[in-house]
């Protein structure tokens, strides 16, 4: 407890202030005390000095006493007696020796004692005798008395000098006390300033510097203050606080770094999943999974990864992707892939220092390969790695399955399109060629019979007409087969078709277009069939209707079905099944059936023809109630 008190800065500075104050108070009280003793020294000096003048005055009056008449002499005697009594009182006055009682001085006491003894024992009795007996006053007597008075005055001068010396000694003592007090005060003040500089100012500067460094973010700053006082305790506390902040900051940085690493890893995994999804959904070109496998190895921090791809019915991979430079395993060289191509995820230990994790690539119980992770022994995959491999294998399986489905769909569409083309060739060009073949046979018979030239020319004209018709039908079929809907969309294809029809009509008839389904999504199959139906019907109107106006409308009815209207003001279609088939109506019916739609033909002689095709688009099948509700909103 005492150590803490003595080491306290407040106690030290307070002690120094108390010492300075104590010295000042002592010096003031000493000065007051000494000045109080010396306040009557001047009065004593004046009093002693007046005795000298009084001695000369008495001697002078006594010298003149014998020369006066009786009356004057009596008065002079009275004055002399009064002067002697006054002198006695002054010599006996306590004022002369009052200060000696407080601070006794041997020389002053002796001098005063000699003066009093000289006056009362010698001079005063002699003067009283001469005053009472003036006749005894002679010149010789006066000379002896004068010598005595002169010696007495000398003693008085010595007494005055002693009084003056005593006063000067006291003033010198006051000066000495004040000088010593000033020196001690300055010394204590200097010691205090040194203590403040060493124990207060420098530690405070060190604390301020450390505080600025901490404020600037430098948590490694420490104070080097070795004191057992308040500032030392404050410095120790600041060091502990700085160390705690540094540890907390480092902990936060480590957590931020860990979170950043996890976020970067998650971002890389998401980017890899996105790239894999984009690659698997892109059905253009060959499927290259090498970059995906290499990036998967980098993100998952698994160096050795094998990706084996098989067909849906295959027992061995058609592609084996490896992310590390290593020799192909013996089991892979033999083509024994039955163990790897398992439908279950499994973890196998293949040797003392190696284990294998297999992720099957399958969709709907159909295997498309396997993703194999070769791991060091006793180092299992973390949860995020396992989830990443599972997601990648699922994406690859879905992509391969989707590609297979798309290929199957393309094959079916191609077969259907070839069936339509064959039917169109059969209904148009094949029939025309059969007709021409019959005409050629008839011409050969006419020539063999050597029939008339008129009949032969008639058959030749039929051949020419048939050839022209066949050629025209061939061109129409080629135009139809070359139909293409590019990225600009179905609307632009209809516009281009309308422009081509107007160009071919050569102002004989006018084709107009009203397209109102810009905001409705159609599948490529729906767009192709709708375009082919419109082209076939428009082509029939161009070739056979003899109309002035043909109006093409593509719109949406109240049931959200797509409706195609082709109206002309021509001659109409005769009620003849063969003619209807000849005009390509069978092809239109077949394509309408492919769309699961409905075909309606309204025609009358000299009133034109109206062809209406309607079907429900595929997008309504997803959730028709929700779509209808959204439209109502």
Q: Are 242 and 366 in the same domain? A: no
Which run of H or E residues covers position 418? helix 383-425
Tokens 């062809």 belong to residue:
611
Model-level pTM? 0.48
Percent of the chain beyond pLDDT 90? 5
Given a cut of 60, whether residue 18 has pLDDT beyond it is yes
Q: Are 252 and 177 in the same domain? A: no
Q: Are 587 and 417 in contact (CB under 8 A)?
A: no
DSSP 170: H
Q: Are 570 and 545 in contact (CB under 8 A)?
A: yes
Mean of pLDDT over the chain: 78
pLDDT class for 116, splitting at 50, 70, 90?
A: confident
**Strands of the 346-351 sheet, one edge to the other:** 319-322, 305-309, 366-376, 354-363, 346-351
Where is pLDDT greater, at 382 or 621?
382
Q: Are 286 and 297 in the same domain? A: yes
613 in a domain, yes or no? yes
Q: Are 251 and 164 in the same domain? A: no
Q: Are 495 and 540 in the same domain? A: yes
Interval 379-433: pLDDT, tens = 778 888 888 888 988 888 888 888 888 788 777 777 776 776 776 666 666 667 7
Nearest-angstrom CA–CA distance, 541 and 366: 51
Residue 103 has a pLDDT of: 43
Residue 331 has a pLDDT of: 55
Nearest-angstrom CA–CA distance, 563 and 600: 11
- The domain boundary residue, chosen from 261, 278, 295: 278
- The domain boundary residue, chosen from 397, 423, 455: 397
Interval 570-592: pLDDT, tens = 888 776 544 444 446 777 888 88
Q: Are 187 and 240 in the same domain? A: no
Please tell me the total count of domains within the chain: 4
479 in a domain, yes or no? no
453 in a domain, yes or no? no
Q: Which domain holds residue 342?
A: 279-397
| 407, two tokens | 């290929």
Would you tell me how many other CB atoms lie within 10 Å of the CB of residue 217?
8
Name 608's bridge partners: 604
Residue 513 has a pLDDT of: 93
Q: Are 386 and 524 in the same domain? A: no
Q: Are 23 and 154 in the same domain? A: yes
Q: Are 350 and 332 in the same domain? A: yes
Q: Are 268 and 258 in the same domain? A: yes
Q: Are 232 and 186 in the same domain? A: no
């Amino acid at each position: 407890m005492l150590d803490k008190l003595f080491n306290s800065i407040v106690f030290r500075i307070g002690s120094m202030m108390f010492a300075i104050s104590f010295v000042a108070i002592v010096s003031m009280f000493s000065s007051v005390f000494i000045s109080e003793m010396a306040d009557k020294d001047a009065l004593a000096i004046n009093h002693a000095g007046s005795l000298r003048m009084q001695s000369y005055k008495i001697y002078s009056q006594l010298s003149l006493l014998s020369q006066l008449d009786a009356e004057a002499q009596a008065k002079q005697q009275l004055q002399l007696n009064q002067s002697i009594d006054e002198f006695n009182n002054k010599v006996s006055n306590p004022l002369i020796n009052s200060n000696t009682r407080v601070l006794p001085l041997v020389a002053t006491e002796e001098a005063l004692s000699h003066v009093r003894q000289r006056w009362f024992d010698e001079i005063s009795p002699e003067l009283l005798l001469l005053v009472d007996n003036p006749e005894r006053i002679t010149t010789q007597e006066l000379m002896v008395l004068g010598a005595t008075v002169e010696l007495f005055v000398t003693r008085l001068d010595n007494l005055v000098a002693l009084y003056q010396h005593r006063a000067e000694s006291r003033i010198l003592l006051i000066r000495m006390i004040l000088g010593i007090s000033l020196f001690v005060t300055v010394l204590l003040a200097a010691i205090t300033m040194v203590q403040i500089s060493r124990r207060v100012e420098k530690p405070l500067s060190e604390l301020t510097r450390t505080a600025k460094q901490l404020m600037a973010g430098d948590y490694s700053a420490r104070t080097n203050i070795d004191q057992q006082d308040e500032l030392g305790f404050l410095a120790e506390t600041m060091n502990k606080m700085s160390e705690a902040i540094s540890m907390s900051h480092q902990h936060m940085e480590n957590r931020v770094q860990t979170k950043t690493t996890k976020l970067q890893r998650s971002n890389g995994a998401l980017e890899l999943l996105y790239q894999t999804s984009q690659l698997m959904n892109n059905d253009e070109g060959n499927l290259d999974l090498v970059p995906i496998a290499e990036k998967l190895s980098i993100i998952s921090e698994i160096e050795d990864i094998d990706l084996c791809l098989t067909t849906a019915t295959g027992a061995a991979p058609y592609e084996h992707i490896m992310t590390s430079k290593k020799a192909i395993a013996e089991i892979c060289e033999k083509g024994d892939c039955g163990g790897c191509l398992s439908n279950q995820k499994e973890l196998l230990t293949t040797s003392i220092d190696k284990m294998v994790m297999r992720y099957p690539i399958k969709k709907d119980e159909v295997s498309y390969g396997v993703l194999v992770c070769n791991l060091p022994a006793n180092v299992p995959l973390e949860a995020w790695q396992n989830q990443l491999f599972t997601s990648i294998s699922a994406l690859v399986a879905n992509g391969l399955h989707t590609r297979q489905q798309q290929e199957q769909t393309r094959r079916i569409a191609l077969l259907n399109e070839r069936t339509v083309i064959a039917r169109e060739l059969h209904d148009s060009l094949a029939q025309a060629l059969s007709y021409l073949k019959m005409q050629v046979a008839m011409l050969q018979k006419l020539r063999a019979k050597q029939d008339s030239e008129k009949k032969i020319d008639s058959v030749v004209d039929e051949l020419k007409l048939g050839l022209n018709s066949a050629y025209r039908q061939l061109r129409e079929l080629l135009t139809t087969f070359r139909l293409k809907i590019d990225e600009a969309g179905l609307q632009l294809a209809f516009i281009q078709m309308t422009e081509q029809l107007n160009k071919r009509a050569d102002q004989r008839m006018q084709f107009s277009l009203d397209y109102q389904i810009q905001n409705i999504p159609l599948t490529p199959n729906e767009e192709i069939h709708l375009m082919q139906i419109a082209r076939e019907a428009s082509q029939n109107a161009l070739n056979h209707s003899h109309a002035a106006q043909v109006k093409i409308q593509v719109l949406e009815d109240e049931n959200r079905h797509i409706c195609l209207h082709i109206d002309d003001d021509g001659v109409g279609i005769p009620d003849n099944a063969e003619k209807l088939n000849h005009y390509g109506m069978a092809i239109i019916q077949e394509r309408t059936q492919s769309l699961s739609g409905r075909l309606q033909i309204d025609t009358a002689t000299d009133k034109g023809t109206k062809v209406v095709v309607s079907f429900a688009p595929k997008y309504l099948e997803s959730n028709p109630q929700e779509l209808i509700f959204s439209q109502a909103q």
